[in-house]
Amino acid sequence: MTMRVYEALARICAGAGVDTAFVLLGDANLLWALALTSDSDVRLVRARHENAAVLMADGYARRTGRVGLASLTCGPGLTQAATALTTAARARTPLVVVVGDTPRGLAYSLQEFPQQALVASTGARYRQLSNAPTATNGMRQAFAEAARDRIPVVVGVPVDVQAEFCPDEPDLAAACRMPSVSPARAPVAAPEAGDLDRVAARLLDARRPVIVAGRGAVFSGARDALLAVADEIGAYYGNTLRANGFFRDCAYDIGIVGGFSTDSARGVLESADVVLAVGASLGHYTTDGGGLFRGAHVTQLDISPQFWCQGVRAADDYLVGDARLGAEGLLARIRAAGRPSGRDDRIAVNPAGPGGDTTGRFEGDGAGALDPRRATEILNLALSEESFVVIGAGHFWNFAVLGLAAPKVGQVEYAPIHFGATGDALALAIGSWSADRSTPVYAIEGDGSLFMALPELDTLARERARVCVLVMNDSAYGAEVHKLRQLNLPEDCATYPTTDFASLARAMGLDGVTVDRDDGTLDTVLADFAESGRPTVVDVRVSRSVVSTHLPPPITMSHGPVAP
């Protein structure tokens, strides 16, 4: 059957296994989006901002392991989404983003823009479908590239090309079925035997070994083998932030390894002579700027070791292969050695799990507001077995990271860890919920960050999403306030009048509640949400008097020292 290009491209997207697309319509994607819903069962989630549409697709893809699909108009529609594209590229999220493009051959077009250059600057890839005969294959290749390389691919299709007729194909969708691209389902291979022999010998000779597990260890199911290795060689073990809770309730768990490490964990890590990192990228934050394992010989076991990561040399030695198969190979060799592997004088370490090492110092009395540590504790107690949590960026993040733990490893998404952007949690949460509409999702944001995503409260209401947004409202950009205080500078430029987010939520058709004291209200609101599943915004008025012990000093910004 003869059809126009936009219809054919829509059918290919549906054939790629997409069941949800996140869109904001404009001239360049209008007909494609309508064809997508009229010719298939694909559900459109209509965002209010282009950046949010891409973030929603990002959240969906991270949770499902499938290629996420978003669509925006060209030119300014694409430029609005640059932050989300950068985040997705650094997170290695497989996405296809259909943006259209201005018509070919015009002397002038208001929205003409060098789209490929912008996309390249974000770390994503760009495909221009410039003519009707090759457009369908170009769209298939975009999906294949996103799945294979786990990267966002932006597809530009001039609107005049979209309107042309394309060559007949017997079954447009059949040739585009995409497999899941989750690392949990990635092809697996064991490390080379000689490499395993070398690393096993080093572990046997270690006096103070430590094992660090990352998300790769979670996906591959390496936990039991790693615990067995640890018992054989007398090793402590911990996890990266994204694998938080992997060794929960085990005797020698030191908890998070990196910038959020406890003092007791740092003592173990800084005295280690051998570190085995499994499925962990060992970037800037996991190594705390490269200084956490300074005296140790580090071996990285990973299916795709990066060697240098975020300006840090990842390891001294490498095992290339699957985390579980590598751990099992090491275990077999260590047991076969038939000799003592080293002393086991381990002492159980408090890993400071949920509700643990969230202590802060006080600056003022905090009257008339809730302690953010207590708010985090209440939420942690309310989480159910199926809960999914998205933590945004801000001063509150320090309390949430250490005070919250979803019952299952991998059910917490840390919004700012890839690019440090604020305002992402709500859109990521909507995308995460769209991936599994039966589960409750909790988005934790600050007041300043939520203002950046305020229009998506309308999306939340229209979708009737089972999402509870906790706004940690300190009427400020809290991290900046505390850094200004440390510099003895005025904080007025970082503080704002208190906003009534509960009233804003109710005006948009959501449940909205304000909590400003520890009187049982927050417990009740969270219980009501768990029962009803109605989208809810909780305006948690938290005190600016509590300062996280993990807040970096003002001269230690992410981009290096600055003068006050």
For the segment 415-421, the average pLDDT, to the nearest whole number, is 91
Q: Given pLDDT bands bounded at 50, 70 and 90, which one contains residue 359?
A: low
Angle at 144 between CA 140 and CA 149, to 5 degrees: 150
For the segment 256-272, the average pLDDT, to the nearest whole number, is 90
For 20, list phi and psi in degrees, rounded to 5: -145, 135
For 495-545, the pLDDT digits (tens) are 999 999 999 999 999 999 999 999 999 999 999 999 999 999 999 999 998
For 5-57, the pLDDT digits (tens) are 999 999 999 989 899 999 999 999 999 999 998 878 899 999 999 999 999 99
Q: What is the pLDDT of residue 365?
A: 47
% of the chain beyond a pLDDT of 90: 70
Asked if residue 87 lies in contact with residue 459, where contact means CB atoms within 8 angstroms, the answer is: no
For 147-173, the pLDDT digits (tens) are 999 999 999 999 999 999 988 776 665
Q: What is the pLDDT of residue 494?
A: 94
Q: Range with the lowest mean pLDDT among 123-132, 169-178, 491-500? A: 169-178
Could you say which of 3.30.420.40, 3.30.365.10, 3.40.50.970, 1.10.1740.10 is the CATH number of the domain covering 3-181?
Answer: 3.40.50.970
**Residue 463: which H helix or E strand, with range?**
helix 456-463
- Average pLDDT of the chain? 89
Report whether pLDDT(345) > 80.
no
**H-assigned helices in 123-278:** 132-149, 159-162, 193-205, 215-220, 223-233, 263-270
For the segment 371-383, the average pLDDT, to the nearest whole number, is 93
Q: Given pLDDT bands bounded at 50, 70 and 90, which one contains residue 178?
A: low
Q: What is the pLDDT of residue 343?
A: 55
Q: Range with the lowest mean pLDDT among 118-127, 133-142, 526-535, 543-552? A: 543-552
Distance CA 10, CA 44 (A): 12
Tokens 């960050």 sit on residue: 449
- List C-alpha distances in Å: 386 to 240, 344, 413: 22, 37, 14
Q: Which residues of 221-230 are buried (b: 16+ CB within 10 A; e: fewer)?
A: ebbebbbbbb
Q: Range with the lowest mean pLDDT among 62-71, 349-358, 423-432? A: 349-358
For the segment 118-135, the average pLDDT, to the nearest whole number, is 96
Q: Do 193-336 and 360-548 fold alike per CATH?
A: yes
Architecture in CATH of 193-336: 3-Layer(aba) Sandwich (3.40)
Report whether pLDDT(259) > 90.
no
Domains of the chain: which residue ranges?
3-181, 193-336, 360-548
Query: Looking at the DSSP assignment, which residues form a beta bridge with residue 362?
Result: 546
Q: What is the pLDDT of residue 387?
A: 94
Q: What is the pLDDT of residue 292?
A: 87
Q: What is the pLDDT of residue 340?
A: 59
Q: What is the pLDDT of residue 342?
A: 52
For the segment 194-207, the average pLDDT, to the nearest whole number, is 95
For the segment 51-78, the average pLDDT, to the nearest whole number, is 96
For 475-496, the pLDDT digits (tens) are 999 999 998 988 889 999 999 9
Distance CA 273, CA 288 (A): 17
121, burial (CB in 10 Å: exposed 0-12, middle 13-18, buried 19+) = exposed
CA dihedral sign of residues 200, 202, 205, 209: negative
Q: Which of 24, 51, 21 is nearest to 454 (CA)?
A: 51
For 274-302, the pLDDT digits (tens) are 999 999 988 888 888 888 888 899 999 99
Query: At the topology level of CATH, where does 360-548 sit?
Result: Rossmann fold (3.40.50)
Q: Range with the lowest mean pLDDT among 97-101, 264-268, 441-445, 451-455? A: 264-268
Distance CA 493, CA 477 (A): 9
